[in-house]
Structure 1
């Protein structure tokens, strides 16, 4: 079975409007301002995304309260990756317009064990996860979340 290329996925999802405003994918945790999901075409198996609910191209367009709600979900994503026994992770904000950016909705990548120079430079196009891969990653994340209490985070 051939995997769908990320560019093909984006072309399909753009027909439905903003993919992040109208998510088809699983939300692991959310608050009034943001939600946590998986990266559909991940750089790493447990690549997570934090998406502000407000459609904005820049984090500068978010209110202080919205930014705090995003930060709350980033902290929870970080706790999940630590529970999955990763020793390091990188948080990257993607915003504005540039050729490497594929979505015109500010979002945050929370990626375990990655070197920043590896992103977008591996020489091959990312592929979309299969339903089986999505299910396996989702189970990993949900199992890790069940072990965590988010009090104080």
Structure 2
């Protein structure tokens, strides 16, 4: 039998916090941008109203999120400027991921509310998940395990290197 190791997932599995990180108190989407730790916190870009961050518990390599700085769970409360920058950063994320990873498609969207699947339901965020033909298999269904083929650090370094050139 082959073994697949994903030790970083244990932190998420054992987490008792509402935000998915047992080390963090409060909202990670509010806390992380306040720190000067972009690489540690996986922040790719900081805009005026929103920022781009890698998902620390990705569905696939390159799973990004665009998050408004303002703490809100209500998409209708976003200003035109906030929502406009959010969609512009989604577009830039798709361009960067396409250039870097050549995915066959993307899942893009928001899970609004716990019942809709939001892991952090008090601070809305948009997911950008690159997809490839054959990237799903029996592991998530049978083993409750998802195989991610590249480390977060490697993906972060590669994205940060090309990000400034993406328009």
Which band: TM-score by shorter chain?
0.7 to 0.9
Deviations 1:4-55 (A, max 9, x none): 2424342515x52001111261221121111111111000011111111111
Aligned ranges 1:55-70 → 2 under 5 Å? 55-70=71-86
Unaligned segments of structure 2, at least 5 residues: 33-39
**TM-score normalised according to structure 1 size:** 0.78
Structure 1 stretches of 4+ moved >6 Å: none
**TM-score normalised according to structure 2 size:** 0.72
Question: Which position in structure 1 is the counterpart of 2:162?
Answer: 144
Question: Which position in structure 2 is the counterpart of 1:18?
Answer: 27
CA gap of 1:20–1:126, structure 2 versus 1, over 3 A, is farther
Question: Which position in structure 2 is the counterpart of 1:110?
Answer: 128
Q: Is the 8 A contact 1:58 1:96 kept in 2?
A: no
2:12 corresponds to which of 6, 11, 15:
6
Number of residue pairs the alignment of both structures matches = 141
Greater gyration radius: 2
1:94 is paired with a residue of what secondary structure?
A: coil
Q: Distance in 2 between matches of 1:138 and 1:30?
A: 15
Unaligned segments of structure 1, at least 5 residues: none
1:76 corresponds to which of 92, 98, 111:
92
Q: Which has the higher contact order (CA 8 A, sep 6+)?
A: 1
Shift of 1:87: 3.4
